[in-house]
Amino acid sequence: MVELARKPVVLDVPATVGALGEIAAFVLRLAGRAGLGKGATYRIRLAVDELATNIVMHGYRGGGGRITVRGRAGPDGVRIVIEDTAPAFDPVAGRLPPAPGIPPERRRVGGLGIHLALTSVDSYAYARRDGRNISTLTVKADEGTDACPPRP
């Protein structure tokens, strides 16, 4: 189990494309606090960015809403919880693994973003609770655990 600091830091932003930079900066600060290496930092940033982008583009469907990001940094890694009140959406079910038989230009790139997110982290969990989508992501500090997905 990843041993993390008890007190989480919280960011609450409107679900807009403009807020994605703020979310990225928040994640990068946490990664820095945990002393993550370059690879792990890139992976947690990519995963949170893809999931948040998905909430903005498809979750609220331009209808407005908020995204809450909670993070904990510790010597062993970073854990991030992303919450939104958009309709229920389980990223694991919406994931689109690369399909070698289909030309890339005919694939749904959106589902691929979720695939990128889920293969970038060391652990991922989804829950729907009290009308909220709750995603929990963990990236370990150890660069040796770099989760590189297999070639499609």
Partner 1 sequence: MPLSVSLSIEGDTTVIELTGELDAKTAPEFHQTIEKAAGHGTATVEIRMAGVGYMASAGLRSLVFAQQKVGGEVTIKVTGAIEPVARTIRTAGLDRSIVLSDD
| Residues of this chain that bind partner 1 (CB under 8 A) | 17-18, 20-21, 24, 39, 42-43, 45-46, 49-50, 53, 56-57, 98-100, 103-105, 107, 109-110, 112-113, 115-116, 119, 148-149, 151-152
Minimum CB distance to partner 1, residue 130 (Å): 28
Nearer to partner 1 (CB atom), residue 22 or residue 74:
22
DSSP tag of 21: H
Of 119 and 123, CB closest to partner 1: 119
HSE-CB at 68 with a 13 A cutoff on CA atoms is 11
Q: Which is nearer to partner 1, 4 or 117 (CB)?
A: 117
Q: How far is CA 30 from CA 4, 25, 44, 105, in A?
A: 12, 9, 10, 36
